[in-house]
Structure 1
Amino acid sequence: MVCSSHLKTVILQAGNIQRVTQGLAQFANLRRSSTTISVARYSSDRIFPSIRKMMVDTNMAASRGLATNTSSESDDDGGYASGGWKSEDGKLSCGYSSFRGKRASMEDFYDVKTCKINGQTVCLFGIFDGHGGSRAAEYLKENLFKNLMNHPEFLTKPRLAISETYQQTDSDFLESGKDMSRDDGSTASTAVLVGKHLYVANVGDSRTVLSKAGKAIPLSDDHKPNRSDERKRIENAGGVVMWAGTWRVGGVLAMSRAFGNRMLKKFVVAEPEIQEQELDEEFELLVLASDGLWDVVRNEDAVSLALSEEEPESAARKLIETAFSRGSPDNITCIVVRFFHEVASKPQPETQSETEIELQAQTEHETETEPEITTESETKPEPQISTESETKPEPQITTESETKPKPQITSESETQT
Structure 2
Amino acid sequence: MQIRRTFCCFLIWILVIRSESSECPSCNMGYLNSVLQSSNQVHAEYRSVSGGGLSQNEKFSYGYASSPGKRSSMEDFYETRIDGVDGEIVGLFGVFDGHGGARAAEYVKHNLFSNLIRHPKFISDTKSAIADAYNHTDSEFLKSENNQNRDAGSTASTAVLVGDRLLVANVGDSRAVICRGGKAYAVSRDHKPDQSDERQRIEDAGGFVMWAGTWRVGGVLAVSRAFGDRLLKQYVVADPEIQEEKVDSSLEFLILASDGLWDVVSNEEAVAMVKPIEDPEHAAKRLMQEACERGSADNITCVVVRFLANQLANQSGSSCSDSA
| TM-score of the superposed pair, with normalisation by structure 1 | 0.65
Tell whether 2:278 aligns with 1:310: yes
Q: Measure, in 1, the Cα distance between the counterparts of 2:315 and 2:249.
A: 15
**Does the 8 Å CA contact 2:251/2:310 hold for their aligned counterparts?**
no
- For residue 280 of structure 1, report the CA deviation from its aligned partner: 1.2
Which protein is bigger by CA-based radius of gyration? Answer: 1
Partner of 1:263: 231
* Matched residue SS, 1:341: helix
Structure 1: give runs of 5+ residues left out of the alignment: 1-11, 24-75, 358-417
Q: Measure, in 1, the Cα distance between the counterparts of 2:319 and 2:219.
A: 64
For residues 169-180 of structure 1, the aligned pairs below 5 Å read 169-180=137-148
- For residue 343 of structure 1, report the CA deviation from its aligned partner: 6.2
One-letter code of the match for 2:198? E
Q: Measure, in 2, the Cα distance between the counterparts of 1:157 and 1:240.
A: 35
- For residue 342 of structure 1, report the CA deviation from its aligned partner: 5.0
Cα–Cα, structure 1 residues 254 and 114, in superposed 2: closer, same or farther, change >3 Å? same
Partner of 1:208: 176
Partner of 1:219: 187
One-letter code of the match for 1:169? T
Partner of 1:182: 150
One-letter code of the match for 1:312? P
Cα–Cα, structure 1 residues 323 and 349, in superposed 2: closer, same or farther, change >3 Å? closer
**Does the 8 Å CA contact 2:248/2:310 hold for their aligned counterparts?**
no
**Does the 8 Å CA contact 1:215/1:303 hold for their aligned counterparts?**
yes
Partner of 1:237: 205
Tell whether 2:49 aligns with 1:81: yes
Q: Measure, in 1, the Cα distance between the counterparts of 2:314 and 2:296.
A: 41
For residues 309-348 of structure 1, the aligned pairs below 5 Å read 309-342=277-310, 345=313
**Does the 8 Å CA contact 1:134/1:184 hold for their aligned counterparts?**
yes
One-letter code of the match for 1:308? P
For residues 10-49 of structure 1, the aligned pairs below 5 Å read none
**Does the 8 Å CA contact 1:91/1:344 hold for their aligned counterparts?**
no
Two-structure CA RMSD over aligned residues (Å)? 2.3
Partner of 2:220: 252
> Which deviations, in whole Å up to 9, do the C-alpha atoms of 1:220-240 show, x marking residues without a partner?
000000011100100111100
Tell whether 2:173 aligns with 1:195: no
Partner of 1:149: 117
| TM-score of the superposed pair, with normalisation by structure 2 | 0.84
- Identity level (%): 56
Match of 2:249 among 263, 281, 298: 281
**Does the 8 Å CA contact 2:252/2:310 hold for their aligned counterparts?**
no
One-letter code of the match for 1:218? A
Partner of 1:56: none
Cα–Cα, structure 1 residues 325 and 120, in superposed 2: closer, same or farther, change >3 Å? same
Kindly tell me the number of residue pairs found equivalent between the two proteins: 287
Q: Measure, in 1, the Cα distance between the counterparts of 2:105 and 2:318.
A: 48
Tell whether 2:71 aligns with 1:103: yes
Structure 2: give runs of 5+ residues left out of the alignment: 1-34
> Which deviations, in whole Å up to 9, do the C-alpha atoms of 1:224-278 show, x marking residues without a partner?
0001110010011110000000000000000000000000000000000000111
* Matched residue SS, 1:230: helix
> Which deviations, in whole Å up to 9, do the C-alpha atoms of 1:97-145 show, x marking residues without a partner?
0000111100000001112222212100000000000000000111000
Q: Measure, in 1, the Cα distance between the counterparts of 2:231 and 2:311.
A: 50
| Greater RCO structure (CA 8 Å; 6+ sep) | 2
